[in-house]
Structure 1
Amino acid sequence: MSENQTYLVVLNDEEQYSIWQAARALPAGWHAEGTQGTREECLARIGEIWTDMRPLSLRTAG
């Protein structure tokens, strides 16, 4: 893994977050959140926005 890699913050329909190498095609079911940068920057962004680890379907189940 190169420290010069650019990553994206990605999420799925259950609003679960991950990072993905920007040069690779996104896997099915995932889309870009809008943040792009180093691995550390992307992980920091996930730490800021993903405060409830429960999947969306569980959060909205009531």
Structure 2
Amino acid sequence: MSSDTLQYRVVVNAEEQYSVWFLERPLPTGWTETGTTGTREACLAHIAEVWTDLTPRSVRERRGSVAA
């Protein structure tokens, strides 16, 4: 199978960090599906749209509690 025909899925972890994962492989521990699948390029384009703050969730939450 060539790289342009491989199918991927977008996954996210508890820290709200995104990645791509091969569709035919089981999800890695700690990651969940977002529902987006497609070519690697399409999945990366989706991630670029939705992952606008690369700061891990726990750090954002700490910042929020300090500011409050």
TM bucket normalised to smaller: over 0.9
Given the two structures, how large is their TM-score scaled by the length of structure 1? Answer: 0.95
| 1:3-61 CA-partner distances (Å, limit 9, x unpaired) | 11110000000000000000000100001011000000000000000000000001111
Say what the alpha-carbon RMSD is for the aligned residues. Answer: 0.9
Q: Secondary structure of the residue that 1:40 maps to in structure 2?
A: helix
Higher relative CO (CA 8 A, sep ≥ 6), structure 1 or 2? 1
Structure ranking higher in helix proportion? 2
The alpha carbon displacement at 1:2 in A equals 2.2
* Consecutive unaligned residues in structure 1, runs of 5 or more: none
Q: Which has the larger radius of gyration?
A: 2
Given the two structures, how large is their TM-score scaled by the length of structure 2? Answer: 0.87
* Consecutive unaligned residues in structure 2, runs of 5 or more: none
Aligned residues: 62
1:1-40 map, 5 Å = 2-40=3-41
1:47-62 map, 5 Å = 47-61=48-62, 62=64
The runs of at least 4 aligned residues of structure 1 exceeding 3 Å deviation read none
